[in-house]
Amino acid sequence: MPKAPASKVLNLIHLNVRNSNFFYFFIEKCNQNVNLRPNTGMQEKKYPVQYDGEYVLTRNGSKNFGEISTEIARQIRRQPGKIRLRIGKQEHKKGNYGEKHIERKERLKELRANGYENARDFVQDVVSGYTAIYSGDCGRLTLYKKIDKKGISLFIQLIPSQEDDFYDVKTGMITRDTYFRNKKPLWEKSYSG
């Protein structure tokens, strides 16, 4: 393991993760908050969640987390559009959506156990690397990202807007890798090299 300069290292932390893999983390001396993501073994600066009206912004300050590109839209026979996360609501059994719905108490605990600090980071991770798209109920789409023996699902729906139509994030969750076993994807990422 490479040595870090002693002046930069505050602690060396040894973590035993559930699957018996060991990760070593160096924490630099500084006044920054850091988040140790067990699935990557890397430290990450914490970024406070910011908003623009009803929209949650990405770490880079954009309200667009990603998109359903023209090419993918053509393959799945849907409209292309940007993907956005709104603040949303979590009030009743039906009609909940967005950041508040994803960050309800039990779901936030699950997200944090899987290395995500908040809904924004979770959505940004899925949208930046989804590997399949499935058809959902009521015209919704599900973006799916497989990671080891689990999957991450993000449920989105096209919303008309005066500016431009966009895909609104309704909810998301960590799933088993078999969650879509018996469903055929509308689109799958090609791994040809």
pLDDT tens-place string over residues 131-141: 999 999 889 99
pLDDT, position 45: 65
CA torsion, points 165, 166, 171, 175, in degrees to nearest 10?
130
> How many angstroms separate the CA atoms of 103 and 171, rounded?
9
Greater pLDDT, 74 or 35: 74
pLDDT tens-place string over residues 8-64: 333 333 333 333 333 333 333 333 444 444 444 444 567 899 999 999 999 999 999
pLDDT tens-place string over residues 109-134: 999 999 999 999 999 999 999 999 99
CA neighbor of 34 nearest in space, from 26, 44, 24: 44
pTM: 0.74
